[in-house]
Amino acid sequence: MMRLLIATHNRGKLIEYQEMFADLPFDLVTLDDVGIREDVEETGATFAENARLKAIAYARQSGLLTLADDSGLQVDALGGEPGVQSKRYAGAGKSDADRIAFLLDKLRDVPAGKRAARFRCAIALAMPGGKLWETDGVCEGEIAFEPRGENGFGYDPIFQVAERGVRMAELSTAEKNRVSHRARAAEGARKILEQIIAREREA
């Protein structure tokens, strides 16, 4: 079974990918599992650039096929913020609750109907030798006025999913893995992984 490095220290993200790729013959491991502690600096101006930077760097360090993603929230009323700064929006070392409070405060004068937003995810898959594939996914919705729901992480409790009418954090893992931005990007990644498996079997 091939090992697939998921370029994250976040166990929640690993679990999501394990669910989405459960039927593929890969052993999914994290950066912590392979002893990589340092983070690649996300200097890209887009989610795709950051995913690419991380996938290439961690594939070289680990010698493993590596999947890296970069994702975040884009709020129309804030000109696309927080965007690539989603994890750092309220400042360094802040919690998810801090970031949610900071965002809601920025939107305090924005009425219902003007709070359109989307989660966007870019995925890059890199081989240690330099081969690279990319895919992305989007989930449309709006920012609610208060957090709700216990599942998920990040901005999930305030993101109202357009096609479900509930917060992302109110969806079960199985539901989230059908409609989320990461799930949609992962569908593209799955097709790439299937091609990699087929080539390995032919070799």
What is the residue extent of each domain of the chain? Answer: 2-202
For the cut 70, the answer to whether the pLDDT of residue 203 exceeds it is: no
Note the CATH architecture for domain 2-202. Alpha-Beta Complex (3.90)
For the cut 80, the answer to whether the pLDDT of residue 198 exceeds it is: yes
What DSSP line would sit under 125-187, residue for residue?
EE-TTS-EEEEEEEEEEEE-SS---SSS-TTGGGEEETTTSSBGGGS-HHHHHHHSHHHHHHH
Tens-place pLDDT, residues 61-80:
999 999 999 999 999 999 99
For the cut 90, the answer to whether the pLDDT of residue 4 exceeds it is: yes
Residue 155's pLDDT is 96
79 is written with which tokens?
Answer: 């000109």
User: What average pLDDT score do residues 136-153 get?
Assistant: 94
3-state secondary structure at position 94: coil
CA distance 65 to 82: 30
For the cut 90, the answer to whether the pLDDT of residue 163 exceeds it is: no
For the cut 90, the answer to whether the pLDDT of residue 152 exceeds it is: no
Tens-place pLDDT, residues 23-40:
999 999 999 999 999 889
Among all residues, which ones are annotated catalytic? 70
* 30 conformational bin, left if phi > 0, alpha if psi -120 to 50, beta if neither: beta
- Rounded to the nearest integer, the mean pLDDT of the chain is 94
For the cut 90, the answer to whether the pLDDT of residue 89 exceeds it is: yes
H or E stretch at 123: strand 116-126
Burial class (CB in 10 A: 0-12, 13-18, 19+), 108: exposed
